[in-house]
Structure 1
Amino acid sequence: MLKIDHIIGSASDAVLHDRIHDLAHAHAIDYLVLPRQDLSRRRFRSATEGGRDIAISLARDQQLFDGAVLMLDHSNALVVKVEAEDWLRMTPRDQSAALQVGFHAGNLHWRVRFDGDDLLVAVEREVESYTDRIDALIQNGLVEALFEKGRADG
């Protein structure tokens, strides 16, 4: 088992980029693929895409992120890759509808982001558990809800 107790840096850091790039061409990078909600975890066991058993035990001042380099030597690397997320796109009909859907999203503590006038809600359980909560807005034509599976730009 590989034990990880610190993050070396980011795959996009200037000092690491060339080494990571060369290892990628040599197919010598293994990835720890995590859902976005697991990035805040500091202590856990998992397996990499290559099947390597690892134990993560990070200090409180470190947090995993997409592209975090966990191990790097002359012949291979281990890098965190965040899974693409599912999103529920909510398009309000007007400003009043936007305020109503925003109220619900805040009151229900949904993790959101904005895309123009649309509100995107991260889908972390069944999509119906979100749409059921705003069903009256959908049925009255105030909000259009569209499920977007696996958006990498989340």
Structure 2
Amino acid sequence: MITYTSIIGSAAEPRIADLLHSLEHHGRVDYVTLAADDIKRHRLRARTQRGDECGIALDRDMHLFDGAVLRLDRDAALVVRTEDTRWLRLAPRDAAAALELGYFAGNMHWKVRFGRGALEIAVKGALDDYLQRLAPMLADQRIRLANEVSDGREHHHV
């Protein structure tokens, strides 16, 4: 297992992008896709798209990001990708239900955002886990699913 201890640069930098493009034509670029929580970590183990296990051990002043290049030489490259956050949109029936939902989401330590008269919850893991916890409020219609899970670019019906 190779452990990467530094970030070479960004895949968006013109010089690096040109090198990656060339390596990609020869099938020599691999990717490691990290969840939103993992991208914040400085030390972790991960599996690349090709199935290779790798370690990441960065100094505290270095931060992973989408497009971070961990390896770049004439033989191969390794680039970090981030998973898109999926958002569960819930619409409360009234102000009381909105307060209850907000209180509940806070107690669950769920990451939320507000928009279009709804509370959106960042889905980390299985959607069914969230729906089970929300089942009592959904069952008596204090809240309703706004019928979509969004990743910021597209919407998926649930």
Tell me the TM-score normalised to structure 1 length: 0.76
Q: What RMSD, in angstroms, separates the aligned Cα atoms of the two structures? A: 2.9
- Is the 1:86–1:147 Cα contact (8 Å) retained in structure 2? no
Q: Offset of 1:152 from its aligned partner?
A: 6.9
Question: Which residue number corresponds to residue 148 of structure 1?
Answer: 149
Question: Which residue number corresponds to residue 41 of structure 1?
Answer: 41
1:125, 1:92 → 2: CA distance?
23
Q: After TM superposition, where is structure 1 displaced by more than 6 Å over at least 4 residues in a row?
A: none
| 1:73-126 Cα shifts (integer Å, max 9, x gaps) | 234210112234444221233454333322221232102234433322123345
Secondary structure of residue in 2 paired with 1:141: coil
Question: Which residue number corresponds to residue 100 of structure 2?
Answer: 100
Identity %: 39
- Is the 1:47–1:53 Cα contact (8 Å) retained in structure 2? yes
The structure-2 alpha-carbon separation of the partners of 1:117 and 1:68, relative to structure 1 and needing over 3 Å to count, comes to farther
Letter in 1 for 2:37: Q
2:23, 2:52 → 1: CA distance?
17
1:131, 1:47 → 2: CA distance?
29
Tell me the TM-score normalised to structure 2 length: 0.74
Q: How many residues align?
A: 153
- Is the 1:84–1:153 Cα contact (8 Å) retained in structure 2? no
